[in-house]
């Protein structure tokens, strides 16, 4: 099973500001949708609530939301109290309509930090610019992660790269 962190990250590691994404890149959203479609997606409550109501739960994906609030039960999502519980849920209650060999962690900062040590792969959109923000992606330690693919893109005046990292063999 692959546990994959997928994120768009600015040059200064910013990933969000005031509960939202600081940017909008259509190509990046399209890639996010393509990669995550038919897979379980794990996210923090704040990230879930940052998705506009008409787009949540994310269609075609098994939405799993992390929250420590017992009473938090939005429709159409599975809520668990810890990352390990999300993985156990997928393992013990497989849903055949999804491809559960790859599970995507889709943010935000708290959940990325928690999942990074056990992730097997990173799908990072590196935005080649710094942004003002209040939440950050963890540092990608190059002694642990090797870059295996890079595609450079431009959208408007912005440049970014889709980069795949895999954990190095130990
Ligand atoms: N650039 C990107 O690719 C990207 C992707 C996703 C999100 N974002 C941005 O990131 C920001 C949100 O990140 P965030 O760090 O503030 O919030 P978050 O990680 O999305 O959610 C935090 C909440 O999730 C729950 N939670 C987190 N870790 C948990 C754990 N280990 N066990 C149980 N529950 C856990 C808690 O919910 P309760 O309070 O309910 O207990 C916590 O308050 C937003 O600005 C968003 O736009 C950016």
Quick: pLDDT tens for 86-115. 999 999 999 999 999 999 999 999 999 999
Q: Is 13 in the pocket of ligand 1 (CB under 6 A)?
A: no
Q: State the pTM of this model.
A: 0.98
Q: Which helix (H) or strand (E) holds 60?
A: none
CB 122: neighbour CB atoms within 10 A? 24
| 134 Cα nearest atom in ligand 1 | 45
- Distance set, CA 95 to CA 15, 75, 89, 101, 106 (Å): 31, 17, 10, 11, 19
Query: What letters, b where the CB count within 10 A reaches 16 and e where it falls short, cover 66-81?
Result: bbeeeeeeeeebbbbe
Architecture, CATH, for domain 2-167: 3-Layer(aba) Sandwich (3.40)
Ligand 1 center to residue 170 CA distance, Å? Answer: 30
65 ligand 1 Cβ < 6 A = no
* pLDDT, mean over the chain: 97
Q: Which two tokens stand for residue 127?
A: 């935005």
Distances (CA, A) of 169 to 35, 88, 106, 123, 143: 24, 25, 24, 18, 10
Question: Domain locations in the chain?
Answer: 2-167
Q: What is the pLDDT of residues 124-170, one digit of tens each?
A: 999 999 999 999 999 999 999 999 999 999 998 999 999 999 999 88
β-sheet bridge partners, residue 14: 136
Instruction: State the distance from the centre of ligand 1 to the C-alpha of 135, rounded, in angstroms.
Output: 9
Report the 10 Å Cβ neighbour count for 99.
12
């Amino acid at each position: 099973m692959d546990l994959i962190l997928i994120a768009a990250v600015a040059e200064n590691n910013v990933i969000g500001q005031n509960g939202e994404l600081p940017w909008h890149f259509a190509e990046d959203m399209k890639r996010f949708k393509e990669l995550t479609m038919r897979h379980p997606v794990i996210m923090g409550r704040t990230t879930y609530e940052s998705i506009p109501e008409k787009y949540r739960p994310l269609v075609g994906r098994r939405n799993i939301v992390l929250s420590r609030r017992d009473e938090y039960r939005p429709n159409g999502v599975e809520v668990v109290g810890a990352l390990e519980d999300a993985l156990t849920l997928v393992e013990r209650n497989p849903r055949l309509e999804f491809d559960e060999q790859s599970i995507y962690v889709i943010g935000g900062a708290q959940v990325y930090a928690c999942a990074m040590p056990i992730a097997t792969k990173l799908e990072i959109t590196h935005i080649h610019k710094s942004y003002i923000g209040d939440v950050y992606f963890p540092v990608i330690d190059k002694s642990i992660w090797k870059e295996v693919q890079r595609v450079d893109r431009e959208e408007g005046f912005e440049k970014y790269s889709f980069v795949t990292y895999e954990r190095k063999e130990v």
